């Protein structure tokens, strides 16, 4: 009998299991994959996420893996450049974009080292119920027979298409449609000046992202509106290069002399939602419980934030310090409060439909390094969104524009 079974051992599941084990709980992680293995992910880790990784004693291992630190951000809104980097948090002044083959294996190993039992290659087929209370799982290892495993709590860390969420009928709310379709691949042979830089190009209805990763490679993604998905699939490479050619012509010319080193990966299944993250005997974390478009690169850092919050809530209930509903409702409240403003901003950015005030703010950010750094701090989780977007802050930034600015509503990103 386990205290907690975690279904899914990647960026949400393994840290949660590790933190619970450190608190003295008996935890089992089940994952159908074997590690190391890759998955669909653009794998950007914000400074706020790295601060947690250091608290967990794992940042040095990531730094030693050969992944280049990122210390500059350059976002192009058409011809308008906003550059800078987030203010540091807990001494962290960089980001990383590690391959999931490296990062997930590191997290699984850390969970094992801290006392978690991890079973790779195990497929969970169904949840067990005692009335309406989840009490375990049934599944099997490859080539094995069905097993029944019981636990006080079962956590779904099993992604956007969560089996746990389906099985318990987890309610979705504040749903937004999928705004984009994204394809990406990896390139080697780009200019060395890109090695420590995250670069984003937003042009009309196209977004290009460039981030350095392991093996002197760069992940380059090209996002288009979701309505373009069927057309994109007719010629992925052709439409991918056309998007780069239109939004980032200098990068496109550079790719002519570079080498593509992987196949194309991508998806149009990028719905934005919150799900109720708990019920009798079950909880959700990571993309299983909350997902927004990957344009702002926050999925991994969000998962680590919520791992700390959920581990504290589960510890409180397992030890009897708090009731289940009290502790878990606070977990949901904190998750939603911590993510709400960035959820709205990400959905706006992914829709490629910037309102007039946002367009004016981009002009301020382009000419004010102080405000540009604070903007990147919001993205990175080192500046509170409610501070940056407060009425006083917005009035201060908009007050820096020439008096005739609001007479011109020209397209800033076209």
pLDDT in tens, 168-223: 999 999 999 999 999 999 999 999 999 999 999 999 999 999 999 999 999 999 99
pLDDT confidence of residue 144? 87
Domain assignment present for residue 284? The answer is yes
What is the model's pTM? 0.94
Q: Percent of the chain having pLDDT more than 70?
A: 97
Domain assignment present for residue 310? The answer is yes
Residue 242 lies in domain: 180-267
Domain boundary among 267, 299, 327: 267
Q: What is the pLDDT of residues 122-157, one digit of tens each?
A: 999 999 999 999 999 999 998 889 999 999 999 999
pLDDT confidence of residue 403? 58
Is the CB of residue 130 less than 8 Å from the CB of residue 41? Answer: no
Domain boundary among 226, 245, 267: 267
pLDDT confidence of residue 357? 80
What CATH number does the domain containing 24 carry?
Answer: 3.50.50.60
Residue linked to tokens 């195990």: 122
Token code pair at residue 329: 């409702």
Alpha carbon distance 412, 404 (integer Å)? 15
Residues 259 and 305 in one domain: no
Q: What is the pLDDT of residues 9-27, one digit of tens each?
A: 999 999 999 999 999 999 9
* Domains in the chain, number: 3
Residues 307 and 185 in one domain: no
Domain assignment present for residue 190? The answer is yes
For the chain, the average pLDDT equals: 94
44-55: average pLDDT: 97
Domain boundary among 211, 237, 267: 267
Residues 147 and 276 in one domain: yes
């Amino acid at each position: 009998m386990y205290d907690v079974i975690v279904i899914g051992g990647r960026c949400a599941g393994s840290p949660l299991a590790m933190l619970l084990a450190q608190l003295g709980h008996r935890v089992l992680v089940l994952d159908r994959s074997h590690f190391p293995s890759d998955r669909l992910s653009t794998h950007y880790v914000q400074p706020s996420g790295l601060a947690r990784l250091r608290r967990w004693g794992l940042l040095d291992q990531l730094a030693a893996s050969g992944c280049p630190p990122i210390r500059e951000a350059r976002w192009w809104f058409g011809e308008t450049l906003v550059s800078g980097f987030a203010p540091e948090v807990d001494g962290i002044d960089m980001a990383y974009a590690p391959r999931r083959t490296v990062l997930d294996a590191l997290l699984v190993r850390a969970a094992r080292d801290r006392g978690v039992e991890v079973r790779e290659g195990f497929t969970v087929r169904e949840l067990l119920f005692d009335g309406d209370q989840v009490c375990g799982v049934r599944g099997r290892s490859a080539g094995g027979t069905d097993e029944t495993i019981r636990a006080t709590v079962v956590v779904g860390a099993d992604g956007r298409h969560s089996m746990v969420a389906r099985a318990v009928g987890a309610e979705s709310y504040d749903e937004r449609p999928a705004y984009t379709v994204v394809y990406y691949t990896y390139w080697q042979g780009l200019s060395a000046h890109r090695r420590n830089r995250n670069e984003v190009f937003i042009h009309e209805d196209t977004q290009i992202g460039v981030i350095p990763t392991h093996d002197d490679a760069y992940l380059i993604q090209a996002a288009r509106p979701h309505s373009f998905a069927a057309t994109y699939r007719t010629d992925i490479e052709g439409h991918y290069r056309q998007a780069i050619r239109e939004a980032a012509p200098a990068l496109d010319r550079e790719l002519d002399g570079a080498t593509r080193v992987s196949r194309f990966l991508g998806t149009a299944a990028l719905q934005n939602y919150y799900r109720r993250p708990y019920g009798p005997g079950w909880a959700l974390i990571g993309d299983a419980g909350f997902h927004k478009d990957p344009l702002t690169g926050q999925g991994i850092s969000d998962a680590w934030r919520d791992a700390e919050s959920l581990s504290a809530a589960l510890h409180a209930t397992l030890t009897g310090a708090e009731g289940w509903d009290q502790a878990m409702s606070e977990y949901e409240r904190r998750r939603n409060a911590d993510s709400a403003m960035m959820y709205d901003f990400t959905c706006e950015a992914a829709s490629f439909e910037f309102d007039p005030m946002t367009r004016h703010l981009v002009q301020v950010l382009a000419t004010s390094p102080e405000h540009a750094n604070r903007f990147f701090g919001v993205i990175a989780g080192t500046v509170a969104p409610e501070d940056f977007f407060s009425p006083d802050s917005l009035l201060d930034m908009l007050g820096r524009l020439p008096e005739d600015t609001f007479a011109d509503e020209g397209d800033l990103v076209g």
